Chains A and B, each alone.
Chain A
Amino acid sequence: MMKQQKYFVSGNEAVALGVQRSRTQVVTAYPITPQTVAMERLSEMVADGELRTEFMLVESEHSALSAAMGASAMGTRTFTATSSQGLLYMAECLHYASGGRWPIVMMNANRSVALPWSIFGDQRDSLSLLDSGWIQVYVEDAQEAFDMIIQAFAIAEDEQVLTPVMVNLDGFTLTHTYEPVFVPTQEAVDAFLPPYQAPVKMDLDRPLNMAFSSTPPNNMEFKYQQHQAMEAARPVIAQVEQAFHAHFGRAYGGLIDAYRCDDAERILVTVGTVTGTARQAVDQLREQGQKVGLLKIRFMRPFPHEEVARALRHARAVGVLDRDISFGYEGTVFTNVNSALIGNKVVPPALNFIAGLGGRDIGVEDIEKMFERLAAAMDGKAAKRVEFIHLGVATDE
């Protein structure tokens, strides 16, 4: 395995390094907490001559993604980043970019959504936009953030896929946390990720029509193709990870990562950085002889319904931790997991834990409490289907 240099950087800085090593040709930038440092580092790299890119300062998030679409339509490798209100402000453009089949990579720093105003972390911003046609990946630590920026370009630019990718990092718990990250040399990344060759692009020598209108006789065919491209992304994600592993020695399990699930009676499903805390909780409970496991969902789109169903098929109780709530129903991850579970012969009791909204801390003891709830459910005791963990005020209890 080739030598890689060890850095001590934050999640934001790991993203900036990933963008640099990917030889990104256009970056469109508009700052928003907690994403700002990623863009600051990129602008410093440009100023210091460490990154040759067209660094475009724009006046809003709507413009950031619009400009990214224009750049991508010219056949250039393009990156932008946002968070929360900014992501929502560019919501219209998200559908535009996926419909236009432009392989843009965007970092989203997961942050709560107003009102009440909050700059702190949860995943309500990106999960509310699952239907915008973007591939959505959620990472657990800074190393995975760095690695997934590079992999995201390889996935997005695959000719079978040509779909934009949103790389989600939990605000603050990942964007602002410094930790070790191994960074391969530029030459090594070049060998893994060749320059983007757009199959179609804006070209004066080969003029064609892009971003056009449709009518009822043809619109649905475009939407069908978008769906097919997202389905085609499943094997591509696996192939890209395999190649990445061969080049750099790191792998993350593809669409999901099952941790100590093989003989687990109770399994907790997580998305994002809370997975790391849950790993520690699972290790501690395993030491006490409790058969618990952890299922990290890495990709929310395309959703790994077969992999989730397989990983949970022997579980006697399943919990889903959502840093999200779809008011009037349940957490969105829970809805997706339940939909996958009903294909199994035996469907275990499933509970939804709403936690960590608006930056509330989730500790090992909170995860242990969730496993206690699952133990009761496994024994047939009545349990609340959707429970808010760690509520500071007595509401319905």
Chain B
Amino acid sequence: MIEVRWLGRGGQGGFTASRLLGVAAVLFENKYAQAFPSFGPERRGAPVLGFTRIDDQKITLRSEIKQGDYLVVMDENLWSPRLWDDLKPNGLMLLNTSRPERFPDAAGDRRLVTIDALQIARETIGKPIVNTAMLGALVAVSGIISLEAAVQGVQKEMKPALAKGNVAAVTRAYERLSR
């Protein structure tokens, strides 16, 4: 089973990304998945979490995901060395930043990969909403699902006008990290 923690700010679409990953896995790859937000009230701008579990068999586990195989950090201002504890051994952190030189590549067996998702979002969606770019980046570095399934998930969940730019964001981020 693969477990993902999404860390963003309220309004950035972190939970939507966690759900899009679930939609893509369940409806377009015939896998099992769970997606859930951090429970309780959420405020725009405050740090919030989203979670996704993906497996080839039915998932019965209902507890929190304290450590992920992947941790997606959607805002570089939320980065802190403490975040390494939110990853399982050999886990991978994906960070949205235009300044990768400011962050370490690894901590022990846990690695960090960066992507400038903000720039991709501006180019593709025309707005600083990075969730779908981060989804594309996660798919590229993890291979949990295929790019095709991720695109289909976005198309299924978003209205056509909105889906177009977001599909481009998923695809561009995917291509950047899978080179």
Measuring CB to CB, which residues of chain A are less than 8 angstroms from any residue of chain B? 6, 8, 119-121, 140-141, 172-174, 176-180, 273-277, 279-280, 359, 361-364
B 64-113 contacts with A by CB, 8 A: 64, 66
Given A279-B60, A361-B63, CB of A180 within 8 Å of CB of B26 = yes
Please determine whether B33 and A364 come into contact, CB atoms closer than 8 angstroms: no
Stretch at the interface among B34-42, B115-123, B128-136, B158-166: B34-42
Mind listing 6 A-B residue pairs with CB under 8 Å?
A176-B36, A177-B36, A178-B22, A178-B36, A276-B62, A361-B64
B59 in contact (CB, < 8 A)? yes
Please determine whether B62 and A273 come into contact, CB atoms closer than 8 angstroms: yes
Report A-chain residues with C-beta under 8 Å of the C-beta of B34.
177-179
Interface size class of B (residues with CB under 8 A): 20 to 34
Q: How far is the CA of A203 from the CA of B37 in the complex (A)?
A: 48
Please determine whether A120 and B61 come into contact, CB atoms closer than 8 angstroms: no
**CB within 8 A of B39: which of A176, A179, A276?**
A176
Please determine whether B39 and A120 come into contact, CB atoms closer than 8 angstroms: yes
Report A-chain residues with C-beta under 8 Å of the C-beta of B23.
8
Please determine whether A363 and B39 come into contact, CB atoms closer than 8 angstroms: no
Query: Chain A nearest CB: distance from B63 CB in Å?
Result: 4
Given A119-B41, A120-B40, A179-B34, CB of A277 within 8 Å of CB of B26 = no
Measuring CB to CB, which residues of chain B are less than 8 angstroms from any residue of chain A? 19, 22-23, 26-27, 32-37, 39-41, 59-64, 66
Query: Chain A nearest CB: distance from B37 CB in Å?
Result: 6
> Which residue, of B37, B40, B66, has the highest number of chain A Cβ atoms within 10 A?
B40
Q: Which of chain B's residues has its CB closest to A121's CB? A: B39
Query: Chain B nearest CB: distance from A382 CB in Å?
Result: 30
Report A-chain residues with C-beta under 8 Å of the C-beta of B39.
120-121, 172-173, 176, 359
**CB within 8 A of B62: which of A119, A173, A178, A180?**
A173
Q: How far is the CA of A363 from the CA of B63 in the complex (A)?
A: 5
**CB within 8 A of A8: which of B33, B36, B64?**
B33
Please determine whether B62 and A179 come into contact, CB atoms closer than 8 angstroms: no
**CB within 8 A of B19: which of A6, A178, A280, A364?**
A178
Please determine whether B63 and A180 come into contact, CB atoms closer than 8 angstroms: no
Please determine whether A277 and B35 come into contact, CB atoms closer than 8 angstroms: no
Please determine whether B35 and A180 come into contact, CB atoms closer than 8 angstroms: no
